[in-house]
Amino acid sequence: MKKCILTLATALLLVVPAAVSAQGFGLAARAGTLGVGPEAALGLTDAFVIRAGIGLMPFEPTATIDDIEFTLTLPEKWISIGADIYLGGAFRIGAGMLFKPDDPTLTGEIVGGSVQIGDVTYTSTDVAQLTGTLDSKDSAPYVLIGFGKHTSTGIGLFLDLGAAFIGEPVVSLDATGNSTLIGTSEFQAELRKQEINIENDLGSYIKVWPIINIGLRIGVGGS
């Protein structure tokens, strides 16, 4: 984590050293839907600040619903690069790009009972595990509103609220269990039906990744 902070800060200082002196810069740590990690910000003017950050996902949420143990694996990391425009005080609007190396997956371990796939219900003897992947673009534009100025002198809190537009993702399902059953064209057809059902149920919600971040920042040289 410290290495990431130093890398971001050094890059900004090398690119625009005069602006750092005039308008300030800031370092921050954030936590939220883009993971946990560092940010660095550089003020090009008092109202225009560029910002870059890296968020790591160090946890995998789990839950058991109807005899199925679910594990959610989020993208390993998010990298954000963008700019904030301050409209007065610490209130700002922002936009930029998000980058991720992989896609979120949801794994369901069927520990008892049964599971419906497509139009057919299967027992845990037939299907032991289902894994769903939300395949989407590696990069996505984002917009947000925020509170807190990264380059203001001193220590303070900040908040980001926004959305990244990941486009039209595709749901992919894989199953493990009875290899004789899973390898059949009939089962694979039911798996494809279930993928379509999930996409239809989620609708436009899967096109947007929510941005909710809260963090602590330290600014130097800003107003």
The whole-angstrom separation of Cα 137 and Cα 116 is 29
Quote the pLDDT of residue 223.
62
User: Mean pLDDT, to the nearest integer, of 125-139?
Assistant: 89
* 37 vs 179: which has the higher pLDDT: 37
Radius of gyration of the chain (CA): 22
Q: What does 96-130 look like in DSSP terms, one character per residue? A: EEEE-SS--EEEEEE-SSEEEETTEEEETTTEEEE
Q: What is the pLDDT of residue 3?
A: 52
Q: Are 55 and 10 in contact (CB under 8 A)?
A: no
pLDDT at residue 5 in the model: 44
Model confidence band, residue 24 (pLDDT cutoffs 50, 70, 90): confident
Over residues 57-80, mean pLDDT: 84
pLDDT at res. 82: 96
Classify domain 2-220 by CATH architecture: Beta Barrel (2.40)
State the pLDDT confidence band at 144, using cuts at 50, 70 and 90.
very high
Q: At residue 60, what is the residue type?
A: E
| pLDDT for the residue numbered 91 | 95
The whole-number pLDDT of residue 66 equals: 66
In the prediction, which pLDDT does 12 show?
Answer: 45
Which pLDDT value is given to residue 95? 97
Are 17 and 9 spatial neighbours (Cβ–Cβ below 8 Å)? Answer: no
Enter the pTM of the model: 0.77
Q: Per-residue pLDDT tens for 86-103?
A: 998 899 999 999 999 888
* pLDDT higher than threshold 80 for residue 109: yes
Kindly indicate the confidence band of residue 63, based on its pLDDT and cuts at 50, 70 and 90.
confident
Q: Which residues contact 9 (CB under 8 A, 6 or more apart)?
A: 25, 27, 40
Q: Is the pLDDT of residue 79 over 80?
A: yes
At 72 the pLDDT is 85
Does residue 65 or residue 142 have the better pLDDT?
A: 142
